[in-house]
Amino acid sequence: MDYDHLIYEQDGHVVTLTYDRPEQHNAINGEMAEELHHAWQRFRDDDDAFVLVITGAGETTFSAGWDLKDASEIGEIDDWEAFRRAIYNLPGPCGYTRRVDVFKPIIAAVNGYAFAAGLETALLADIRIGAENAEFGALERRWNIVGGDGLTARLPLVVGFARAMELIITGRRIDVHEAERIGLVNEVVPRGEALGRAQELAREIAALPQGAMRADKETVVMGVGRTLACGSRPRWSSRCSCAATRTPWAPGRSSGARRPSGRITACERQRARESSSRSASTMSRMSSSKLVRGSQPRRRLAFP
């Protein structure tokens, strides 16, 4: 696929994806969104691509969000069934924002303001490097537009519930230093140096073994909202899989090293035995409880 609104560059194992509509402040329209769907999946499935760096063209704008000209052309919804299907099937109206299947590291080089869907794009990254002139804000609040590209799901995870609610409700703009203070930005660099620093960090990450790193990222992402016990199981499964194959890294979209099909690890056998033991213990307690309840005389209600 040829890109009209993106620049996809690969240097070794590092891919740099530039949102390239500088005249429109790198705002995302329908055509650009389709290109983003393809570009993100291209990175995900490329065995030689280890780390993704996303940025905006120029030195003033990361992304202004959804192209409001594009938004103004949306009319009334005639087919609600088709709309409902699109909500669940579309990878995202402003990019690859509604899928959670890229477990390779992602770094955002925020070189300017990131507003509305631009902020949501920055939230797709695992690490955010902000230039001195970077700003952030849920400015869609001014136009009565919902955060439909993951704002309400990802922002609370990054900055916490209270901070996220303030930014989402007020639509307030914050500078890069406040963003760093609340955890939205990991590192602040001088103006014009965000991309260089992000690429430098990406090369350092690409030099590391990839399998366990991807497995750990997947465990963190897929463990959101689970209990500690449930969230720990995928971690041990990934660890046993890596150990079983003795593979330092697994290429492609795999989150970690894969063990041969049909091969059961010692960890999985132990987990199965523990699960069977717990089930037997639970059934025994239930049976004992029924016997105790059945041996007691039924109590009658007394009415005045």
Tell me which of 35, 120, 135, 218 is the catalytic residue: 120
DSSP-assigned letter for residue 260: P
Catalytic-residue membership of 132: no
CA distances to 50, 78, 193 from 196, rounded to whole Å, are 17, 47, 5
Catalytic-residue membership of 193: no
Q: Which amino acid is at 136?
A: F
- 22 and 57 in contact (C-beta within 8 Å)? yes
Pairing of strands 14-19, 6-11: antiparallel
Cα–Cα distance, 206 to 212 (Å, whole number): 13
Q: Which residue has the tokens 């390779």?
A: 104
CA distances to 3, 205, 214, 243 from 209, rounded to whole Å, are 31, 9, 9, 13
Residues 6+ apart with CB under 8 A from 121: 19, 28, 54, 62, 63, 94, 95, 97, 108, 114, 149
Tell me which of 35, 135, 140, 218 is the catalytic residue: 140
Q: Which residue has the tokens 């995900």?
A: 44
- 253 and 101 in contact (C-beta within 8 Å)? yes
- Which residues participate in catalysis according to the annotation? 120, 140
